[in-house]
Amino acid sequence: MSDQPLTLDAALSDEAVLSTYRRMFAALARDSGAVVDDPALVDIAETLFAAFAEAGEEWLTHEQMRFACRAYPADQFDNRLRVLKGLGAIREVFPKPHQLRYRASFTSVVGLMFIRRMMDDGGQSEMHRLLALEDLNVADPRTTMEEARQSAANLARAFRLWALELITLTTGTIEELREQAPKLWGTEEIARRAQSLHGTILTRWPELDRVCTDLRAAIYAYSDASRRAAGRLADSAGTTRNLTLLPTETWRTFTQTAGKERLAAVLDGFVFDAPAPWHDPAAIARAVDEAPRPAPAQPTPPRSALPDAGPEGSLDSSPTAALERLAQVAESVLGSASRVALADVLGADWPSARRLLADLTTVDLRPELPYRLTWSDDLTIDPAREPSWLSHGYLERVP
Amino acid sequence: MIRTDDATAHVLARAGGPLPLGAGAAAPAGMLRLTRPDSTGEALPVWPDGATPSLLEEHQVAPVPVERAGETRRVLAACLRCCWTDQSADPWPGDPAPVELVLDTYRALIGRTDDLMRNWARGALRRLHDSAWIVMADGLVTLGPRCALWPVKSYAQLKELVRRVPEPERAALTVVADADIIAAATADTTAVAADTTAVAADTTAVAADTPLAVDTPLAVAATAGTTAADPESPAAGAGAPARTDPVPPPAPSGEPDPTARHDSSPEPDAAAPRVRLGGQVEGGAAEFDDLLGGYDERRRAELVAAFMAVEHAAEPVPEARFAGLRDPALRHTLGEMLARRGRTLIPHRERWISGYDDHAAARAARLSDESVSEGRPGGRGGAGQARLGEAAKAVLTLVLVHSVAIPRAEGLLPEDTWASPHPTPVDELRRHTQVPIGELEAALRTLRHAGLLTQVKAGEEAGGYVPGPQFHRLTPAARRRLQEELILAAGPHTPLAGAVRARRSAD
């Protein structure tokens, strides 16, 4: 409590809580200042009761109680303990002087539970329980007519007072109505239960019709007041707040349990636009321009228009083919001679000379062929001739 | 045939797509009449002074987003390439083409051949069909009524576009030639056409007692014994055809394609009209001239720009950007223009958008309910062919509850709006509702396409759906009614629902 910043909203909600406390205990209070003036004081009591429940038969000493309530200021705690002791909610374990251990009163704990529940829903669920219990009671064969009369009269009074409060709210400020009304107004469920109770009493004791008429009138008055309060709220809340008047759980239940038809029925009678996007010619052209381009295909090499078998098959792939060709080259160079100068056999054009030199070098490197190249250190240079630089060498046949 | 005033007809056309017209029935003011050879037709709203929604681009106002815009438009280009065979005529109606040919053309355009591309293209075809840009039936694609809205001055651009779309490479071994597919499909529809002319016979009786202008040069098909509507009925005075020279209806002997093998199509009755896509566009009566006539050219253009902006923008338009919204006198005229189309201006602080006028919407809803309950034949019959299905409505309601009602009940959404920043997770829709999963995906697709839902993407798994841009267009009364309907549905036994019912019965 103390560590929260004190905002106007917090103060307002505290005041709402306190006013409920005051109203609940108005019947029991000795004077108008007798109810707590700080909601934290109730929290102290609750903390204490929780500590007592945990302690069990060990009970609690004053120090232990103080420890349990260490979150609250000392003076608030002392004040609370004095009141709780004075009213008998906390008592000595044994009624004798200088008692150090204390126990809590069961009645007070139950009372506090009841208070908390009343805070939550303004007593709607209490009314539900009460009606259910009364229904069981009047159906019980042991119940006397006098008890039934008493019960009907009590309920009639409760409904009348409830209705009166709602009517007052309905004519009051809208803020108060918004705050209080949803806690007070009855659902159809409550009205239905009350009417079934009324029916049970009337069939069992027809002579109670006078009390029952009272009860019936009270139920109707209450339903009517509920409807009027809701109507005023719905009208004033306009289009923003109305949805807040149904709790989140109701909405969730609706989405999870409602069938397709029920969901669809919400939108019956609403007119929405048909899909009608505009495709402007410029936009279409842009879209076509931005189309992902197909990957460029590999260009096929140009082919002759004439039928062409290609070089396939012209290669002799037998293992001796290379050797035979080399021997042929060497023989054609040598002719009948056993030694020939390269300068004589190389022609004037360098490309064919180059090819011949390459072949002869290969021949020289093949030990199985009977030809060798020998090179001397002489070099002829003649710029006018091709090749202009010529090493002197000989191809020889080796026996 | 249901008789409607022009405002309601415009509401029906906006909510349900092109309006079917009976034989000889004139189009409502402000609509094109797309006339078929049997003189029935469809009516489609046009915009004042030859404007198109591309005007929004000039004013830098975002139009309602098009789903997968690039892909959809490329597929439309492929359709145009296949269907607009005679480029000396208007693109609409064009010729039918097999869906496979369109798909092949699209494939050649983007150079991809995988299955994914095929599924995407099929999705785009479906969306184009749903929005009346094409008509897809019996394996054939034809250009839809909306193609008639392209302005004539853009035809050169369209021709250039068609020229650029490559010819598809098709395997030589097609089992059935395209022309045969078309011939077979049209033979099928001959029977259907006989039915629809019978319906037309019914409707001409109704049409005859309404003073309808018949300015169609086409003779009513004489097959089913229908009498041509009285040609001497008063011609529409202001309804001079805006641009079309009457294209003669295709002669009964006309071959759809020189390569078509005629012997395969059974045609015993020579007098029966060939169910080829004949048709012509007739300009509607100018509807705003008396309102706009008093303004000089600049103000007139400002009014038209504001009209287009509020009618087609995705979000409410700031009034500072449009003189037609800023100036109270012009805004008043704009309101009158909109009222003639059953629309009304909806203020959002200093922004404006248009929505259905409550009374016109109620009338239209009643009419389309009637036409549905009458179970009119012909499939497309009845206004509101684009009505939401039950599953789509259910999904929309779920999103409204999750994205608006619950956040508001928790105090997270203070404003009076049905737009919401709180997405409904798809998982919530999939797992925790009674809507069958099989119907969920299709419903979401429809709702997305109509701008009723917007998909919100956030990270890998998060994200979901929020109410779409259409929810800006609800009038205060419609917003209130939507809220009340939700309360009545979710908590029918609460006093709040009781109060709503009591107030309604008192009204």
Q: In the predicted model, what is the mean pLDDT of residues B326-342?
A: 90
* H helix intervals, B313-346: 323-326, 328-339
Chain A nearest CA to B389, separation (Å): 9
Do both A235 and A130 map to the same domain? yes
Cα distances from A1 to residues A7, A332, B36, B174, in angstroms, run 12, 119, 79, 83
Domain span at A368: 321-397
Instruction: Check pLDDT > 50 for residue B196.
Output: no
| Residue A106 domain-assigned (yes or no) | yes
Do both A105 and A30 map to the same domain? yes
Q: How many domains does chain A have?
A: 3
Instruction: Check pLDDT > 50 for residue A337.
Output: yes
Confidence band for B304, pLDDT divided at 50, 70 and 90: very high
Q: In the predicted model, what is the mean pLDDT of residues A322-330?
A: 88
Backbone conformation region of residue B390, classed left if phi is above 0, alpha if psi is from -120 to 50, else beta = alpha
Do both A75 and A140 map to the same domain? no
Chain B nearest CA to A291, separation (Å): 6
Last residue of a domain, one of A204, A239, A274: A239
Do both A62 and A89 map to the same domain? yes
Q: In the predicted model, what is the mean pLDDT of residues A271-290?
A: 90
Question: Closest Cα partner for B132 from B118, B121, B148?
Answer: B148
| Residue A235 domain-assigned (yes or no) | yes
- The β-bridge partners of A258 are none
Between B321 and B224, whose confidence is greater?
B321
- Least trusted range by pLDDT, from A120-124, A235-239, B46-50: A235-239
Last residue of a domain, one of A114, A148, A173: A114
Q: In the predicted model, what is the mean pLDDT of residues B479-490?
A: 89
| Residue A279 domain-assigned (yes or no) | no
pLDDT, tens digit, 9 for 90 and up, residues A162-191:
788 778 777 777 777 776 666 666 667 777
Last residue of a domain, one of A84, A114, A144: A114
Confidence band for A288, pLDDT divided at 50, 70 and 90: confident
In chain A, what percentage of residues exceed pLDDT 90? Answer: 5
Between A91 and B351, whose confidence is greater?
B351
Rounded to 5 degrees, what are φ and ψ at B285? -65, 135
Do both A165 and A95 map to the same domain? no
Cβ atoms of A65 and A54 closer than 8 Å? no
- Least trusted range by pLDDT, from A167-181, A378-392, B41-55: A167-181
Chain B nearest CA to A259, separation (Å): 5
pLDDT, tens digit, 9 for 90 and up, residues A119-155:
666 666 677 777 778 877 877 888 888 888 888 888 8
| Residue A138 domain-assigned (yes or no) | yes
Cβ of B487 within 8 Å of Cβ of A187? The answer is no
DSSP letter (8 states) at residue A70: T
Cβ atoms of B445 and B455 closer than 8 Å? no
Chain A residues with CB-CB distance to B312 below 8 A: 278
Q: In the predicted model, what is the mean pLDDT of residues A94-114?
A: 72
Q: Which amino acid is at B494?
A: T
Chain A residues with CB-CB distance to B314 below 8 A: none
- The partner residue sitting opposite A239, judged by closest CB among B52, B411, B479, is B479
Structural domains of chain B, with CATH = 6-47+181-282 (no CATH), 69-162 (1.10.10.10), 288-378 (1.10.10), 390-473 (1.10.10)
Instruction: Check pLDDT > 80 for residue B460.
Output: no
Do both A202 and A109 map to the same domain? no
Confidence band for A11, pLDDT divided at 50, 70 and 90: low
pLDDT at B185: 65
Task: Tell me the range of A183-197, A215-229, B74-88, B103-117 where mean pLDDT is highest.
Answer: B74-88
pLDDT at B392: 92
Do both A85 and A149 map to the same domain? no
Instruction: Check pLDDT > 70 for residue B287.
Output: yes
Question: Closest Cα partner for B199 from B219, B217, B223?
Answer: B223
- CATH code of the domain in which A368 resides: 1.10.10
Angle B342-B348-B349 from CA coordinates, rounded to 5°: 140
The count of residues in chain A is: 399
| Residue A29 domain-assigned (yes or no) | yes
Cα distances from A268 to residues A71, B209, B450, B486, in angstroms, run 57, 33, 17, 11
Do both A109 and A207 map to the same domain? no
pLDDT at A352: 86
Instruction: Check pLDDT > 50 for residue A349.
Output: yes
- CATH code of the domain in which A27 resides: 1.10.10.10
DSSP letter (8 states) at residue A55: H
C-alpha B173, offset from chain centre: 38
In chain A, what percentage of residues exceed pLDDT 70? Answer: 78
Q: What average pLDDT is seen over chain A?
A: 78
Chain B nearest CA to A2, separation (Å): 26
Q: Following DSSP, what letter does each residue of B437-485 receive, concatenated?
A: HHHHHHHHHHHHHTTSEEEEE-SSS-EEEEE-GGGGG--HHHHHHHHHH
If you count residue pairs, one on A and one on B, with CB atoms under 8 Å apart, how many are there?
251
Cβ atoms of B423 and B464 closer than 8 Å? yes
Q: What average pLDDT is seen over chain B?
A: 76
Do both A155 and A226 map to the same domain? yes
- The SS3 of residue B305 is helix
Backbone conformation region of residue B64, classed left if phi is above 0, alpha if psi is from -120 to 50, else beta = beta
Cβ of B393 within 8 Å of Cβ of A267? The answer is yes
Nearest CA in chain B to A231: B499
Residue B247 contacts A, CB cutoff 8 Å: no
Confidence band for B461, pLDDT divided at 50, 70 and 90: low
Cβ of B393 within 8 Å of Cβ of A264? The answer is yes
Instruction: Check pLDDT > 60 for residue B193.
Output: no
E strand or H helix that includes residue A375: strand A371-381
Cβ atoms of B464 and B470 closer than 8 Å? no
pLDDT at B245: 41
Do both A132 and A210 map to the same domain? yes
Q: In the predicted model, what is the mean pLDDT of residues B151-167?
A: 89
| Residue A346 domain-assigned (yes or no) | yes
Q: What is the CA radius of gyration of chain A?
A: 56
Task: Tell me the range of B107-121, B142-156, B167-181 where mean pLDDT is highest.
Answer: B142-156
| Residue A263 domain-assigned (yes or no) | no
In chain B, what percentage of residues exceed pLDDT 70? Answer: 74
pLDDT at B350: 84
Complex-level ipTM: 0.77
Q: In the predicted model, what is the mean pLDDT of residues B235-261?
A: 39
Do both A135 and A224 map to the same domain? yes
Rounded to 5 degrees, what are φ and ψ at A6? -85, 100
| Residue A244 domain-assigned (yes or no) | no
pLDDT at A55: 75
Cβ atoms of B68 and B449 closer than 8 Å? no
pLDDT at B416: 73
Do both A136 and A235 map to the same domain? yes
